[in-house]
């Protein structure tokens, strides 16, 4: 398996890679993972992590495309080549842009290729405002089409991506596997999640609205802060707890919060260890996903469904391909609408309880780990057929 990611970091694709590895391990497969030199070491049975050489001046990798990733991917090509020469593998499983060279190495070494498609890479260039060069976007579009059509199997993570991939080549064997197995230590969150953990972040005696994730512009942090200004006109017993974000992003939003005079109602923690997120979820009263653009389902949504806490999310396809009004409060991506949605579950605990119960039932029926394992085994059999 080749993952062009900092593995492990508590964010989207690295956590998705973790889910794949956990499933493959449980299914009894042995995996050599080739990845970046950056990231937390994780012990998984039957999995050996092989990192590229340490590059001293690259210590962090931002979400999305970057010049740093181009350099790191060159080392990733060399490391993958070396391992394919030294050992015979049944399958080359590549994530994201590693598929660009993966299809050629698979052909060269006569090994089957499985493409794990977490997003449309041409769309990423636009979503992250990385470039407006039409020639570069067209190149990525051509590469994406080439990879999909050349692979022996394809994994997508949500209905929007499945539709996109089938539109490119519907003949390629394909299974959609939602990102439901990636929460690190969710079931091991200890019962000390109350007084001790809460006091560390000054959340006692507050009704907590929790956001956990990256702070990229498309995540809608500005929308959440603007809506908080409206919510706090009605209620003062609240704390908006925002977990995630790089240091400079946290500082940017903290300055905005300070300008609005809302500092006492916000706690911005920055990026925290993955095991803290389940603890924070246990303490909160409302989970929020204010995303304003994109089509992929946020990985956090599956954890939200499982949590037993009411969900408020924007009424966009990025959410509605999984969420419905039966399991969440869906609002237009506007501050007043978001404020109204948050207040609806804060002021009506019975509504919140009903939505939470239905959300858990949806998770157990559609997104359990057992179903995740079944889908993983199915795509392996297809890719190896």
Relative to beta strand 286-289, strand 311-314 is parallel
Q: Which helix (H) or strand (E) holds 332?
A: none
Question: 271 or 193: whose pLDDT is higher?
Answer: 271
- pLDDT above 70: residue 133: no
**What single DSSP character describes residue 87?**
S
pTM (predicted TM-score): 0.84
How many helices and strands, by DSSP H and E, does the chain display? Answer: 15, 13
Mean pLDDT of the chain: 91
* Fold of the CATH domain 2-180+368-384: Rossmann fold (3.40.50)
**Helices 335-346 and 349-366 meet at what angle, rounded to 10?**
100
**Residues 245-281: b if buried by 16+ CB within 10 A, e if exposed:** bbeebbeebeeebeeeeeeebbbbbebeebebbbbbb
Confidence tier at 135 by pLDDT (50, 70, 90): confident
Q: Count the Cβ atoms, other than its own, within 10 Å of residue 194.
A: 12
Q: Of 57-71, 115-129, 224-238, 247-261, give the lowest mean pLDDT range.
A: 115-129
* Residue-range domain boundaries for the chain: 2-180+368-384, 186-366
Distance (Å, whole) CA 147 – CA 96: 10
Q: Do domains 2-180+368-384 and 186-366 have the same CATH topology?
A: yes
Residue 275: pLDDT over 80: no
Q: How many C-beta atoms lie closer than 10 Å to residue 132's C-beta?
A: 9
Which top CATH class is 186-366?
alpha beta
Across the range 208-236, mean pLDDT stands at 96
CA atoms of 171 and 169, how far apart (whole Å): 6
């Amino acid at each position: 398996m080749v993952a062009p990611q900092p593995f492990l970091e508590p964010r989207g694709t690295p956590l998705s890679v973790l889910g794949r590895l956990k499933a493959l391990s449980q299914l009894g497969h042995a995996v050599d993972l080739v990845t970046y030199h950056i990231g937390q070491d994780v012990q998984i049975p039957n999995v050996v992590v092989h990192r590229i050489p340490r590059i001293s001046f690259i210590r962090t990798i931002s979400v999305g495309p970057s010049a740093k990733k181009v350099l790191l991917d060159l080392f990733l090509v060399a490391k993958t080549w070396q391992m394919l020469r030294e050992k015979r593998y049944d399958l080359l499983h590549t994530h994201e842009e590693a598929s660009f060279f993966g299809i050629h190495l698979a052909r060269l070494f006569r090994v089957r290729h499985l493409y794990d498609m977490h997003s449309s890479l041409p769309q990423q260039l636009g979503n992250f405002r990385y470039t407006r060069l039409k020639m570069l976007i067209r190149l990525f579009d051509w590469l994406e089409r080439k990879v999909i059509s050349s692979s022996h199997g394809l994994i997508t993570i949500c209905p929007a991506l499945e539709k996109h991939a089938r539109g490119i080549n519907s003949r390629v064997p394909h299974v959609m596997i939602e990102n439901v197995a990636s929460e690190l230590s969710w079931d091991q969150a200890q019962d000390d999640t109350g007084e001790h953990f809460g006091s560390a972040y000054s959340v006692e005696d507050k009704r907590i609205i929790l956001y956990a994730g990256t702070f990229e512009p498309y995540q809608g942090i500005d929308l959440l802060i603007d809506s908080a200004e409206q919510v706090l006109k009605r209620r003062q017993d609240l704390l908006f707890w925002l977990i995630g974000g790089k240091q400079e992003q946290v500082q940017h939003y903290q300055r905005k919060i300070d300008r609005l005079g809302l500092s006492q109602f916000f706690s911005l923690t920055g990026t925290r260890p993955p095991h803290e997120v389940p603890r924070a979820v246990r303490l909160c009263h409302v989970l929020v996903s204010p995303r304003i653009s994109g089509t992929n389902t946020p990985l956090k949504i599956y954890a939200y469904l499982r949590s037993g806490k009411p969900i408020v999310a924007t009424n966009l396809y990025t959410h509605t391909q999984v969420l419905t009004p039966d399991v969440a409060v869906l609002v237009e991506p506007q501050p007043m609408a978001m404020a109204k949605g948050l207040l609806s579950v804060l002021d009506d605990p019975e509504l919140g309880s009903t939505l939470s119960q239905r959300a858990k039932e949806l998770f157990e029926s559609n997104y359990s780990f057992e179903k995740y394992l079944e889908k993983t085994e199915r795509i392996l059999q297809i890719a190896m057929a």
